[in-house]
Amino acid sequence: MSPTFAQEVRRLRTERGLSLTRLAEQVRYSKGYLSKIENGQVRPTAKMARVFEDVLRADGRLMALADAPARPIQSDDTVLMTFDVMFGNFRMLGHRSAPSAVLPSLRPQVDTLSTMARSADDPVLSQGLWLLAARYAEYAGWMEQENGDEAAAAEFTRRAVQYAAKGGDRELEAFAQVRSAEFALYRGDARATVERARKAGRSRSPSVQAAAALREAQGYALAGAGKLCEEALERALLLQQRAGDVRYGSTSLDDQVAITTAWSFHDLGRHAEAAAILDLQLPLIAPAALRARTRFGLRRALAHAAAGDLEHACELVAGLLDDVRQVQSATVHIDLTAFSNLLTRSRPAVGRELAGEISEILFAG
């Protein structure tokens, strides 16, 4: 099956080693318009094809594709099933691998699905493709956050909202505000965390409201507002009970409310309580969910250290370092840096070798 004009332009640009910016300079189209061309949103004209022919040295292929009639995607449930299975595989890979191992294959799938959704001749198939594109884009946003690129994470989240709306899923638009609150949380911006979480909480979906209440609680904890934090946690528990099995956020956690309670208690200075909760919750996270186990395992170690048991905390961190190296998570590195700073201040004999290993991880590359 021959490629579309859009697919061939993207392939040739990549093959020639040209960025979108560089190609835009050569063809005299804006970068935004060029992106629309590559995503199949612009129908090629003969004049456009000639411009790309010259710059990309396409030997007549682009002219031929520009003259060809638009080729609709035929209705076929196997397309949806195939991409759905692929999405599950991407998630499994993301649980155990560095974002850099997932993103190069994940990003193009978002473009492919959105292009297919635009071309589908069956409205039902088109809707399914848009919803899959939204799921892929939302997960790509999470992986970009784990990769330390907040701008890319926000852009993929924005696209997820757009695609979900085209597919008829308005809940994801509200959940995007939850993700935005999470960006603010990791920046240490308590006010923005709470404001964005409250905005998301206006959703009619109990599952989105529950996720929003959890981020709101974490924002209050960051600000030291204990009473407001506990009220938000209680609200999240009630909302999650109403939502049942429908949940937004990490699917790796057995009890999102308990984990968030521990996270919040640690930020509020209730370290022993946080450590006790995480001691119970960590074994419930599936072994395959390596990223989640590492992320909350480090938070557990920080809680134990702050509660006065630094030796046990060092043992916990030492057992996590291989996993930290494997998942290469920007969010995990935030807590690893906090633990490194704690060791620097304490300077215990038990942590000297560990401190050196942590420094190697944090400053690798």
Q: How far apart are CA 224 and CA 20, in angstroms?
A: 45
Q: How far apart are CA 209 and CA 256, in angstroms?
A: 13
Burial class (CB in 10 A: 0-12, 13-18, 19+), 245: exposed
Q: What per-residue confidence (pLDDT) applies to 349?
A: 61
Q: How far apart are CA 119 and CA 30, in angstroms?
A: 24
Domain 5-67 matching CATH 1.10.260.40: the answer reads: yes
Delimiting residues of CATH 1.10.260.40 domain(s) in the chain = 5-67
Q: Which two tokens stand for residue 15?
A: 């093959």
Q: How far apart are CA 170 and CA 164, in angstroms?
A: 7
Phi, psi of 73 (to 5 degrees): -80, 125
Residue 285: left if φ>0, alpha if ψ -120 to 50, beta else—which one? beta
Coil, strand or helix at 71: coil
- Which residue, among 93, 90, 95, 92, has the nearest Cα to 110 in the 3D structure? 90
| Beta carbons within 8 Å of 270's beta carbon, 6+ residues apart | none
Residue pair 130/167 in contact by the 8 Å Cβ criterion: yes
Q: How far apart are CA 196 and CA 45, in angstroms?
A: 43
Distances, alpha carbon 173 to alpha carbons 165, 230, 278, 287, 300, in Å: 7, 26, 31, 31, 32
Q: How far apart are CA 279 and CA 304, in angstroms?
A: 10
Q: What per-residue confidence (pLDDT) applies to 221?
A: 97
Q: How far apart are CA 45 and CA 53, in angstroms?
A: 12
Write the DSSP symbol of residue 168.
T
Coil, strand or helix at 120: strand
Per-residue pLDDT of the chain (365 residues; tens, 9 = 90+): 567 888 888 889 988 888 888 888 888 887 777 877 887 767 777 778 888 988 998 888 888 787 655 444 555 678 888 898 899 899 889 988 999 999 999 999 999 999 999 888 788 888 889 989 999 999 999 999 999 998 999 899 889 988 988 888 888 778 888 888 998 998 899 999 999 999 999 988 888 999 999 999 999 999 999 999 999 999 999 998 887 766 676 767 878 999 999 999 999 999 999 999 999 999 998 888 899 999 999 999 999 999 999 999 999 999 999 999 999 999 899 999 999 988 888 766 666 788 889 989 988 75
H/E segment holding residue 35: helix 31-38
Residue pair 240/210 in contact by the 8 Å Cβ criterion: yes
